[in-house]
């Protein structure tokens, strides 16, 4: 069991698809203001774990909690209102909306009674308070001059940064980031690293699933390594990368 009791707590999480065991009694925690990297080879169960935490997938057994509140069985939108933010491997934006409209919709959807969908995405201008929050988030991710830009005209990297801004504007307790650097160029990756590095000061925990080991090494306080549904190592980036199990399973290297 993890020793890092946190804002996000995963306990004995198991997921089976027929005869295939994707996760087997996994424990994991993310503390307030901590960035935890979740790494491992393809098929290790990383996205399965994130989907269980986000509510896109229900586990076969085990539990997920946020600040001690059980999340298992709660729909994704309810988890979002409780403080679970997330991004996805595939960009999930609304092509007909502008950059500003995405953040405005996220702000209004975060209210307990947001009303009709049309009230979230219509062309009503943001209030002064909403405009300040939108300006702050777009500045954070380097899109300050893109308020009125249609999403369809943005490059992939900018779309991924917008997704992060949309997740953060609701002020989550924890951010589930599933391969956010995929498709980013060097400049955009540097911007992503800068954004992630600022989240601990905002008391936001981050669970980062990432194949870019350089990014993981730069921003993560702690790393958890999964292989075929099991946690095989946990600790500092340098520490876990030196273990024989990780070299064997994750890097494909034999041990002399």
Residues 6 or more apart from 256 whose CB is under 8 A from it?
none
Mean pLDDT calculated for residue range 111-118: 51
State the pLDDT at residue 4. Answer: 45
Q: What average pLDDT does the segment 10-30 reach?
A: 93
Residue 120: which pLDDT band, with cuts at 50, 70 and 90?
low
User: What pLDDT score was predicted for residue 114?
Assistant: 47
List the structure tokens of 46: 């990383």
Confidence bin at 123 (pLDDT 50/70/90):
low
CA pair distance 107, 102, nearest whole angstrom? 9
Q: What pLDDT was estimated at residue 3? A: 45
Q: Kind of pairing, strands 61-66 and 174-178?
A: unpaired
Residue 248 has what pLDDT? 83
The domains of the chain are located at: 8-249
Residue 166, SS3 per DSSP:
helix
pLDDT, tens digit, 9 for 90 and up, residues 45-90: 999 999 999 999 999 999 999 999 999 889 998 999 899 999 988 8
Does the reported pTM lie above 0.95?
A: no
Fold of 8-249: Rossmann fold (3.40.50)
- What are the pLDDT digits (tens) for 201-242? 999 999 999 999 999 999 999 999 999 999 999 999 999 999
Tens-place pLDDT, residues 132-190: 999 999 999 999 999 999 998 998 888 999 999 999 998 999 999 999 998 888 888 89
| SS3 label, residue 201 | helix
pLDDT grade for 94, boundaries at 50, 70 and 90: confident
């Amino acid at each position: 069991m993890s020793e890092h009791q946190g804002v996000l707590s995963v306990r004995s999480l198991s997921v089976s698809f027929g005869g295939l065991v994707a996760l087997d009694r996994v424990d994991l925690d993310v503390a307030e203001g901590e960035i935890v990297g979740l790494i491992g080879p393809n098929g290790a169960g990383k996205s399965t774990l994130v989907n269980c935490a986000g509510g896109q997938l229900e586990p076969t057994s085990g539990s997920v909690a946020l600040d001690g509140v059980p999340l298992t069985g709660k729909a994704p939108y309810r988890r979002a209102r409780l403080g679970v933010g997330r991004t996805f491997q595939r960009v999930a934006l609304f092509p007909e909306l502008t950059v500003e409209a995405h953040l405005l919709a996220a702000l209004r959807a975060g209210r307990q009674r947001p009303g009709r969908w049309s009230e979230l995405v219509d062309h009503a201008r943001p209030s002064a308070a909403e405009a300040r929050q939108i300006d702050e988030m777009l500045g954070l991710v380097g899109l300050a001059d893109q308020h009125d830009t249609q999403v369809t005209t943005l490059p992939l990297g900018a779309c991924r940064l917008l997704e992060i801004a949309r997740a953060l504007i609701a002020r989550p307790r924890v951010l589930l980031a599933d391969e956010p650097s995929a498709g980013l160029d060097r400049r955009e990756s540097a911007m992503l690293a800068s954004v992630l590095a600022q989240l601990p000061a905002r008391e936001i925990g981050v669970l980062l699933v990432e194949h870019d080991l350089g990014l993981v090494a730069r921003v993560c306080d702690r790393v958890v390594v999964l292989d075929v549904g099991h946690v095989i190592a946990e600790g500092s980036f340098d520490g876990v990368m030196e273990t024989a199990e990780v070299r064997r399973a994750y890097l494909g290297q034999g041990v002399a």
